[in-house]
Amino acid sequence: MLRIRSRIEIAERMILFLNILGRGLTILAILVLSQACTPAPNPPTQVLPQTQTPDSQTLTTPTQAQNVFIPAVRSGGGGTKAGVENTPGVENTPGVQGTQSEAAPDPHVEVQADQTTLKVGETLTIVGRPVEISNPSYEISVRDAGVENINSLARVTYNNQVTPLEPSSGMLEFVSAEGGLEQVKFLLRAKAPGRTTVTVIATGEIHNPGSGQASWTGQGSGSVDITVTN
């Protein structure tokens, strides 16, 4: 009986041991399976710096500033005068174009002759162009050599109203005239040999950009020397 009881006890102990061992193996297997099923953590995402692409609408192409010149030629008056177009209210800076203060008005008449030496009986065309004079009325004057007084031959308005005057030159006589806002044209004829000078005067409105006011005055051209031969 003792031997049977001891064998039963040993068997019971073996069963208990196997149960404990089985539980341990089960837990170990569960741990291994759970570790195998757990996904590996993803590596940190690297954020690359964004490269800005310029918008085609914001691209600008530098352009070279263009200098704008305003000629003011006084024919027969001793040279040419030219200025740079300026921005009002900006002080003049030497050597820098486009920064001069607004120039004062320089009203005058540019005059040209188709010839300066002609024979008796030939015609002479005198063209005058007003500068900074609005709605001009024109007058052509001559001064013969040896004569002190300046004498007028004719008047004409910008709307072409012609008024011949009394002949006062011994060398040139008035033939016709054509007036306009931009220019005037006088046609003269040589009637005697000698030397004389011709001047064109324009009377009209002169605007002052500084004050914004206008005045009515007359301005003349340079003199053109004319020689008449036989």
**Burial call 159-171: b when 16+ CB within 10 Å, e when fewer:** eeeeeeeeebbbb
pTM to 2 decimal places: 0.55
Block means of pLDDT (10 residues each) for the chain, 230 residues, are 71 76 73 64 55 43 32 35 35 42 78 96 96 94 92 95 89 96 96 96 86 76 92
Fold of 105-229: Immunoglobulin-like (2.60.40)
- In sequence order, the 6+-apart residues with CB closer than 8 A to the CB of 172 are 124, 142, 153, 188, 189, 190, 191, 196, 198, 226, 228
> According to the model, what pLDDT value does residue 18 have?
72
Three-class secondary structure of residue 4 per DSSP: helix
> According to the model, what pLDDT value does residue 213 have?
76
Three-class secondary structure of residue 107 per DSSP: coil
Q: Which two tokens stand for residue 2?
A: 């003792």
